[in-house]
Amino acid sequence: MSVTRKNHYIPQWHQERFFTAGRKTHCLLDLKPPSYMDRDGTVSSGRCLFNSPTSRAFVEQDLYSTFFGVEVDDEIERKLFGDIDRRGADAIRAFCGDDQRAWHEHFEDLFEFLDIQKLRTPKGLAWLRQQYPEIGRLGEMLPSVAQNQLMSEMQSIRMLNVTAWTTGVREIVSAERVGVKFILSDHPVTVYNHAIPPSDARSRYPRDPSTALKGSQTLFPLGPDHLLILTNLEYAKDPAVRPDAKRTFARTYQSTMVSTIEFIKTRYLTDDQVAEVNFVIKARADRYVAGSRREDLYPEKVVSKSWADLRATFLPPADELYRFGGEMFASFENGDFHYQDEFGRTEKPRGWLLKVEPKAQPRPRDYCPCGSGQPFGNCCRDKPVHLRMSWTQKSTRERNVMFMGALTRLFDLERKDWDTVRREMTDDKIAQMYGLYEALWPLETDLLSLMPKPDGKMRSVYTGSLHPKLIMEFALGAPLYFGEVIIQNPFMISRTLRKDKRPTEQPRQYRGEALKTLMTFMQLMPLVEAGLVTLIPDPCDFDFHLRDQMMAMASTRSRTLEFGLSDDARLEAVMQEDMRRIMLNMPKETLVKRILETPGDNESIGIDALVEHIEQMKVDDMLAILQSDSLMDGGQFEVMKMAPNFEIAMYLAQATGAQILTDSIFRWRELQAALARRHLGTKPALIQLQREIASSPVEFPVGHQAIFRVLDDRSFREMESLFSAAFAYTASRTADNLKPNFEAQLAARFRRQRDSMKSLIASTKAPAVAARLTTAFRLGGFQDNTINRLLLMSSSEHHLHSIPMATLIERWDAGPRADNAKSWIH
């Protein structure tokens, strides 16, 4: 079988729909014709207008080919696009007609075709390549490998826009009654947003305005006489909404229920309106436009409106909007039921989590509407709107403060000490505690809108153990060096578990876990209130598609990595302590019998004295359960939280513009493995600073009281500034434009600030732990294509494509590891 290497990125059958009756060519306009130099030195443009058959139009060599050595494969063209195009052709014919039964039959086929059509063009693939910088760099040296990766990623993010399109307003307008006809471009799935003209950076080649924005409308010519317009419902109902704001519940890959036969087909456009449509299509094209008539290819000759004023042509008729949105209920034969609101949410918004956005801009000293707790002048005032956290939803900080207030009342924390709290920790209180947390975090929370964006501020994503004994050692003091630290909340959302495993349903089995979780949360909260720590839930709790993708990626990755618990002495020690606590909760008779059966001189110990000693051990251990029946009815769930995992830590760091910060050797080796997986590798940066950081211990105050003693000292602010400068420098440099003098200055600055901070901590007599820092600065950064894919699937609009910096914190007395500093520098 011959291999197809000439790939039509607009199917030939679709091009033929734009032929004039009786002809086998269409008019093709080249917007970027080749230039030639005449003999006299003048430069002339080549021919730009052709009568072209489909065999020569919208085609490119090896656009979808994959390569295996010298072998060339065309399976993507034949098998993937062959099937989608066949069904897409039937769908387009159906929707140009009026048979609603055919609409229903071909509804999914239409939107699957549209989604892949948006992605498969040269412009669409250039956009995809831009999302994966590693593929772009790889293309310069190993083009066949880069092409294979690009084709793999194209298939991985199929159906990216389908949820946004199908849950909006669907309209098909007609040009049947006028002479001007719709044209076809080389990027035929066109996105129009009246607030984002082609000159806007958010719309600059190869980017389109995101379909996740309220004012973004998708245009697709079904033929010369019919145009499909897909409009966000919020914008259709209220055209005054901010068009470049993200739409409510902007989920991709979200299961939803829609009526497949609701399409508005009542509008017949005028000649001027069709020309305006063509003006937008041509403005968003890359190089070619085609049509049945030559004059239709020059809409700029008759259109005089501004980009923003064109929006009236694309708005659906207001009196037809009743067909879309509203609440929907469905029941099933097994007794289950489904509810969704007009945005596809399966539960109503919780009023206590909503805020009213201020009509006027706050004053500089007012609290910032984003809920950070900082003055507006120090927070959102100078940030672009798209880099601000939400002003209409309670922030993570506000929710954690609300939760802390509820826990204070539930356990009477202002009057009772920890031992009393433990003794009075009833199963009902445990169930209430997890229920209160769940009430603050609906499963359809848009977590990305509540998190900081890459705004130039220094921050870190912590990944490691959330055990209270371990997190207190380094993570709490990290903001003094690295600015804001993002930590995953130790509480779990009960509804994400099976009903028989939920702490709200089986609180007895969570007695030990509840104590550890509550203590961790209480240790973190003073730093949360001060703005040093951002405490977030697990992102996978709100996006099951993200969770499933992450689990599949983690499963694949873990096959190549092996860890032993003995590699991490700190983690091994706390796990042994947790196991001892479980033993202490065995029934007294059983525990005494086990002790007496243990080899050694135990018979001389009196039973009563032994029981008394065991009870005192439980009292002395702040994390031990004091209730005696805790191992009955299923025992205790023992959860060792190492969170977030590698994939989600990378995801959060790129989404927030942060470094990776860990005290886990497991995570550190995973980062090393991520570098090893890159085809081109990366080069170290700031080698002098790396060596200076690793050369002597850094002091970490232990506990929030010790941290607050030194917090306001200038030395710590300057250390944060230093790491911020190092982060920005590494992110913006290549091996060809390094600044040796600047790098030497950073190393000298670090040495001075470290010595100053040591002296300050010693003078305040704050308890502290000596730590060894291994900080890796990498040109090209830590990057994994799978993480970039997760961000695209989550509708992230503004994120880093790689992470330039990562830091490991270890106890200084543990000694350096052979697999640490050297591997980062050489």
Q: Are residues 100 and 248 in the same domain?
A: yes
Q: Is residue 629 part of a domain?
A: no
Q: What is the number of helices (H) and of strands (E) in the chain?
A: 30, 25
Of how many residues is the chain composed? 826
The answer to whether residues 655 and 793 belong to one domain is yes
- Distance between CA atoms of 550 and 643, rounded to whole angstroms? 13
Q: What is the DSSP letter of 813?
A: G
Note the pLDDT tens digit of each residue in 286-314.
999 999 999 999 999 999 999 999 999 99
Q: Are 311 and 407 in a shared domain?
A: no
- pLDDT tens string 204-239: 999 999 999 999 999 999 999 999 999 999 999 999
Range 691-699 average pLDDT: 94
For residue 628, give Cα distances in angstroms to 300, 431, 511, 576: 82, 19, 11, 21
What's the pLDDT score for residue 606? 67
Range of the domain at 797: 395-565+641-825
Of 766 and 615, more confident: 766
Assess whether 55 and 201 both reside in one domain.
yes
Determine the pLDDT at residue 39. Answer: 76
Phi, psi (deg, nearest 5) at residue 27: -80, 125
CA separation, residue 233 to residues 209, 212, 329, 548 (Å): 17, 12, 19, 29
Cα separation, 374 vs 376, in Å, equals: 6
Structure tokens that stand for 679 in this block: 């085809």
Residues pairing with 775 in the sheet? 807
pTM assigned to the model: 0.91
Q: Which residue has the tokens 């995101």?
A: 210
Per residue in 83-128, pLDDT (tens digit) is: 999 999 999 999 999 999 999 999 999 999 999 999 999 999 999 9
Q: Give the residue from 154, 178, 269, 294 showing the smallest Cα distance to 219.
A: 269
In a domain, 62, yes or no: yes
Question: Mean pLDDT lowest for which of 259-273, 449-463, 514-528, 589-603?
Answer: 589-603
Q: Give the end of a domain, one of 297, 323, 349.
A: 323
Closest CA to 16 of 54, 73, 69, 51: 54
pLDDT in tens, 16-56: 999 988 889 999 999 999 888 777 778 777 889 999 999 99
Q: Token digits for 704?
A: 């929030």
Structure tokens at 402: 């609300």
136, 270: one domain? yes
Under the banding of pLDDT at 50, 70 and 90, the label for residue 791 is very high
d(CA 316, CA 313): 8
Strand 459-465 and strand 659-662: pairing? parallel
Question: Which residues are within 8 A (CB) of 475 and not within 5 positions of it... i.e. 6 or more apart?
Answer: 462, 464, 485, 487, 661, 663
Domain endpoint, select from 323, 358, 376: 323
**What is the pLDDT at residue 821?**
44
In the three-class reduction of DSSP (H, G, I as helix; E, B as strand; rest coil), residue 786 is classed as helix
In a domain, 126, yes or no: yes
Mean pLDDT, residues 654-660 taken together = 97
DSSP letters spanning 159-219: TTTHHHHHTSEEEEEE-TTSS----EESS-SEEE-TTS-TTSGGGSTT----TTBTT-EEE
Distance spanning both ends of the chain, measured CA to CA? 49
Are 419 and 531 in a shared domain? yes
CA dist 579 and 572 (Å) reads: 11
Q: What is the pLDDT of residue 603?
A: 56
Q: What is the DSSP code (8-state) at residue 425?
A: -
Asked, for residue 72, whether it belongs to a domain, the answer is yes
DSSP per residue over 443-470, as a string?
TT--HHHHS--SSS--EEEEEEE--HHH
Domain co-membership, 295 together with 416: no
Residues 306 and 411 in one domain: no
Domain count, the chain: 2
| Predicted local distance difference test score (pLDDT) of residue 250 | 86
The candidate with the shortest Cα–Cα distance to 594, out of 578, 509, 582, 575, is 582
Q: CB of 658 within 8 A of CB of 460?
A: yes
Residue 607 placed within a domain: no
Cα–Cα distance, 103 to 646 (Å, whole number):
44
Nearest to 793 by CA among 109, 162, 69: 162
pLDDT range class, residue 820, cuts 50, 70, 90: low
- pLDDT of 596 above 70: no
Average pLDDT over residues 608-634: 77
Give the DSSP per-residue string, 534-573.
Answer: EEE--GGGS-HHHHHHHHHHHHHHHTT----GGG-HHHHH
Q: Is residue 460 part of a domain?
A: yes
The amino acid present at 558, given as its one-letter code, is S
For residue 487, is pLDDT > 70? yes
Strands 484-488 and 459-465: parallel
pLDDT in tens, 139-179: 888 899 999 999 999 999 999 999 999 999 999 999 999 99
pLDDT band at 630 (very low <50, low <70, confident <90, very high): low
Quick one: 399 and 316 in the same domain?
Answer: no
Least confident of 153-157, 459-463, 626-630: 626-630
Would the pLDDT of 634 be above 70? no
In a domain? residue 163 = yes
Q: Which of 220, 168, 169, 166 is nearest to 192 (CA)?
A: 220
Residue 680: which pLDDT band, with cuts at 50, 70 and 90? low
- Per-residue model confidence (pLDDT) at position 824: 47
d(CA 772, CA 809): 6
| Dihedral Cα 584, 589, 592, 598, nearest 10 deg | -100
3-state secondary structure 669-724: HHHHHHHHHCCCCCEECCHHHHHHHHHCCEEEECCHHHHHHHCCCHHHHHHHHHHH
11 and 118 co-located in one domain: yes
Q: CB-based contacts of 717: which residues, under 8 Å, 6+ apart? A: none
Chain mean pLDDT for the chain: 90
Of 282, 303, 323, the last residue of a domain is 323
Check whether residue 406 and residue 318 sit in a common domain. Answer: no
543 and 659 belong to one structural domain: yes
Closest to 195 in 3D by CA, of 246, 243, 247, 245 = 243
Q: Is residue 176 part of a domain?
A: yes
